Structure 1
Amino acid sequence: MQPTNQTGDQHQITAEGGNRHNYLLPFILITSLFFLWGMAHNLDSILIPHLKKACELNNRQSTLIDTSVFFAYFVMAIPAGMLIKKFGYKNSIITGLLVFAAGAFLFVPAANTRTYELFLFALFVIGCGLTILETSANPYAAILGPPESSSKRLNLAASFNGLAAMVAPIVGSLFILSGKTHTPAQMAAMPAATKAAYLLEEASSVKLPYIILGTVLVLVAILFYFMHLPSMKPQHTEVEVKPGFFSVLKFRHLSWAVVAQFFYVGAQVCITSFFIRIAQQGAGLDEKTAGYYLGIYGFLFMAGRFIGTLFLKFVKDYVLLSIYCVISVFLCLIAIYGTGIYVIYALGGIGFFMSIMFPTIFSLGIVGLKNNTETGSSWLVMSIVGGAILPYGMGTLIDLNHDDIQSGYIIPLVCFIVILSFGMFGHKVRNSFSS
Structure 2
Amino acid sequence: MWGFITCLNDILIPHLKAVFDLSYTQAMLIQFCFFGAYFLVSLPAGKLVKSVGYQKGIVIGLIIAACGCLGFYPAASMQSYPVFLFALFVLASGITILQVSANPYVSILGKPETASSRLTMTQAFNSLGTTVAPFFGAYLILEQAGHEVANSAESVQTPYLLLAAMLLVLAAIFAYLKLPNMHEEEEQEEQVQGSAWQHKHLVLGAVGIFVYVGAEVSIGSFLVNFLGEENIAGLEEANAAKYIAYYWGGAMVGRFIGAGVMQKIAAGKVLAFNAVAAMALLLVTMMTEGHIAMWSILLVGLCNSIMFPTIFSLAITGLGRHTSQGSGILCLAIVGGAIVPLFQGMLADSIGIQASFILPVFCYAYIAYYGLVGSKPQVNSTTA
Q: Same-fold call, TM > 0.5? A: yes
Quick check: 1:259–1:383 contact (8 Å CA) kept in 2? yes
| TM-score (ref. length: structure 2) | 0.96
Q: Give per-residue Cα distances to partners, 1:124-175, cap 9 Å, x unaligned.
A: 0011001100000000011112222211110000001111121000100111
Structure 1 counterpart of 2:35: 70
CA distance in 1, matches of 2:62, 2:358: 35
CA distance in 1, matches of 2:164, 2:186: 38
Structure 2 counterpart of 1:130: 95
Quick check: 1:104–1:122 contact (8 Å CA) kept in 2? yes
Structure 2 counterpart of 1:164: 129
Alignment of 1:317-396 (within 5 A): 317-396=267-346
- For residue 239 of structure 1, report the CA deviation from its aligned partner: 4.8
Asked whether 1:234 is paired with 2:185, we answer yes
Q: Give per-residue Cα distances to partners, 1:159-205, cap 9 Å, x unaligned.
A: 011111210001001111138788xxxxxxxxxxxxxxx33431111
CA distance in 1, matches of 2:189, 2:99: 29
Alignment of 1:100-179 (within 5 A): 100-178=65-143
The 1:181/1:217 distance shift into structure 2, 3 A limit, reads: closer
- For residue 218 of structure 1, report the CA deviation from its aligned partner: 0.6
| TM-score (ref. length: structure 1) | 0.85
The 1:316/1:287 distance shift into structure 2, 3 A limit, reads: same
* Secondary structure of 1:177 counterpart: helix
Asked whether 1:92 is paired with 2:48, we answer no
Quick check: 2:130–2:245 contact (8 Å CA) kept in 1? yes
Q: Give per-residue Cα distances to partners, 1:282-325, cap 9 Å, x unaligned.
A: 22112122111111222212111111112112211000000111
* 1:48 aligned to which of 5, 8, 13: 13
The 1:418/1:199 distance shift into structure 2, 3 A limit, reads: same
Runs of 4+ in 1 over 4 A off after TM superposition: 179-182, 235-239
Structure 1 counterpart of 2:23: 58
Structure whose CA Rg is larger: 1
Structure 2 counterpart of 1:301: 251
Asked whether 1:250 is paired with 2:198, we answer yes
* Secondary structure of 1:178 counterpart: helix
Q: Give per-residue Cα distances to partners, 1:11-51, cap 9 Å, x unaligned.
A: xxxxxxxxxxxxxxxxxxxxxxxxx1001110000000010
Letter in 2 for 1:377: S
- How many residue pairs end up in the alignment? 380
Which deviates more, 296-305 or 41-50? Answer: 296-305
Sequence identity (%): 39
The 1:235/1:75 distance shift into structure 2, 3 A limit, reads: closer
Asked whether 1:280 is paired with 2:228, we answer yes
> Which blocks of at least 5 consecutive residues in structure 2 are unaligned?
none
Letter in 1 for 2:54: Y
Q: Give per-residue Cα distances to partners, 1:324-349, cap 9 Å, x unaligned.
A: 11110000101112101112211121
Letter in 1 for 2:245: G
Q: Name the structure with the higher helix share.
A: 2
Letter in 2 for 1:275: L
CA distance in 1, matches of 2:296, 2:329: 32
- For residue 234 of structure 1, report the CA deviation from its aligned partner: 3.3
- For residue 406 of structure 1, report the CA deviation from its aligned partner: 0.7
> Which blocks of at least 5 consecutive residues in structure 1 are unaligned?
1-35, 183-197
Quick check: 1:52–1:62 contact (8 Å CA) kept in 2? yes
Give the aligned CA root-mean-square deviation in angstroms.
1.7
Quick check: 2:32–2:339 contact (8 Å CA) kept in 1? yes
